[in-house]
Structure formats: structure tokens, C-alpha cells
Amino acid sequence: MLNKEELIRYNRQIILPDFGIEGQEKLKSSSVLVIGAGGLGIPNLSYLAAAGVGRIGLVEFDEISLSNLQRQVMYKTNQAGESKGKSAVNVIQELNPNVLVDYFETRLDAENALEIIGDFDLVVDGSDNLPTRYLVNDACVLLGKPLVYAAVFRYEGQVSVFNALRKDGSRGPNYRDLFPTPPPPEMVPSCNEGGVFGALTGIIGAMQANEAIKLLAGLGIRLDGRLFLFDSQYFTARFLNVKSNPDNPVSGDHPTITQLIDYEAFCGLSEVENEADEITVQELYQMIKSGKTPFILDVREPYEYAISNLNGLNIPLFELGLELERLSQNETIVIHCKSGQRSQKALEFLKKEGFSKLKNLKGGILAWQKEIDHSMEIY
């Protein structure tokens, strides 16, 4: 039952055709888990809380950084370095004290995903990486939970509803019907590398929240079996039909995935298997101190290099194939990026091009800041 305050708060929603008090009570009795409080997560959290979803779960472990503020409009400049999750929870509770918020300050993984997701009616995925997308999808399929999916990159965004329960009792297509296997890591630039248009995250995130509210309240036609694609630069939109694949490894006729797997390995993002390919920041520092500075290759973007660097040669990862003549196969090359992931991709690429004297700086420039130079600024 809705109390007097709730009847007033949700009045503009309750008077909508096909919504009414029944729809509002459905929202109040529902629970949604939002993965991430970033560019996509923020509009979801805001609109789900404002709409009156009774219980919202949030999975987030990251801190607020200055580079988030261009699109993550829930946070303020003076909050840099603070917990995203805690800040988001405070905002939700101030926005609507009727909403119960469960905060999971952890990284979602194969060990905890089923337990966390299993306690909610619906999942909204606001993550920004492939391993988490496959993990969340598989967990939702195994648990029989609907999933509202979205992704953004540069000026383009996409939204869909996966694993939706249909009237005949069957489930709609899921992420693996659209993308059965991940592309090679070197073919998937992150937002750190490729950028993202700030307002786009608000548009796509609000579309996710729209689909989530419709699902919970039983409204309209869902994006079940359809992928919505939006180009914000040219303001064009189109739909792709998504069909269930009988060979889908998690939901097909003969599923081969019956429990969660190592999604970092599945997406080709596992830690370096051969430790001989790694060098620590302490080892590199000692080499530089002794006057034996190796050739350092920085595969971050130019703007990252301009903020702070190790005086290496800057060739962004996705330009590396065009700049091979600037590198020598006869000398050891220490490759680094921000955290070690892009540099690992660069190492694997250069190996295929015939380079053998390669080292990946473990932990990247973040480790250098933490262990060697605390004054170094990193965006």
C-alpha cells in the first residue's frame, strides 16, 4: 500500500494511462540491482529511485576521479578520491528516503555474482568492460533474471533487454545470442582509450531506466529481442533483431556453461602467464638509477602522456601498427600504460610482429606513482 506522502510524490506517474496505483505498487514491491555507478549507472540510479523502486542494490568499488566528471554528473569536483558507491547511496537516500539501498562495495566476479544477483528481481548492467558483461549475462541466465543491457563508446550507444520472461514461459535472447564470444582484446578500445561523449551516457542510461521501469510495472513493448542503436553525433537510430541461438553455450539446446567461469581469461584479459615478460616498477627504477635506462614505450593516449610520463616514446596502442619503424628489435623495450592492460595488448601485438625483447611494466604508471613517485599526477 502507498502512504499519503508516496501518493503525492508519485502523482505525475500514477495518473498516467496504463500505470496507476497498481503500477506504482509494483515498483514499490520490486528490487533492482545496478552494476556500476558510472556514466550509465548514475541516470539509472537516479530515475529508478525517483520512480519509487522499493529496493535498489548497487555494486561499485571505484573512487571518483576528475576524469569522471565530464559524464558522471552525480559527483562534484571536491569529491575526487572519495568512494563512488558511498556518494551514490547518499544521493539516492536524499532523493527518495522511501527507497531501501543495498550497497556492495566489491568487484563483481564469478565467486560472488550468483549470491548478489540472486536476491534481486531485475539487473541493470552499467559496467564498462567485456568480462563483467559476460559474467552478468551468464549469471542472469543461470538464475532466470531479466537483464537490461547497455553500452556506450565515443558517440554511439546501444540498449536491449536480455533474458526477459515471455508470456509463454520462455526466455528471450541474451547477450551471448548477440555476441557469442568476445573479440580479441586488441580490437576493443576502452573509453579511456577511445573516449565517450558525456551527454550520451545520460541518454542511454535513461533509456535503460525506462526499460527497467516498464519491465517492473508491466508497461508497453519491451526491447526484448531487439537491440536499439543510437548515434548521438548524427542523431540517427536503428534497431537490430536478436534471435535466440540453439548453440548458445549458456542457454541453448545443449548448454556447455552450467556455472560461472573465469571471465578475464575468457575475454583474453588474464594476468600475464609468463612472468618473464614482466618487469616491476622497482626493477625499472633501479635500472634507471644505475644509468642503464631501457627503451621505454608508453602506449597511452597523448593527453595522458602530457599529464605525466616516464620520458618514454609515446605511441598510442591503436596506432602501434603504423609506427613499427620507430622501434628496434635489437634492444629491450619496456612497455607501459596506466595499469598494465593496454601494455599487455601491445606486448602481444609486437610479439606477433617479430619483436622478442619485450617487457610489460607490471601495474603501469599507477604502480610507479604508488611505489616510486608519489607526487606524480595521473588523471
Write out the catalytic residue numbers. Answer: 191, 337
- Residues 343 and 346: their CA atoms lie apart, in Å, by 5
Residue closest to 358 by CA, chosen among 276, 285, 290, 255: 276
User: CA 121 → CA 12, 177, 195, 226, distances in Å?
Assistant: 25, 22, 33, 21
Residue 1 buriedness (CB in 10 A; 0-12 / 13-18 / 19+): exposed
Handedness of CA 190, 125, 213, 85 (dihedral sign): negative
Residue 327: Cβ within 10 Å count: 18
Phi, psi of 130 (to 5 degrees): -65, -45
Torsion of CA 27, 33, 38, 40, to 10 degrees: -50
DSSP letter for 244, please.
-
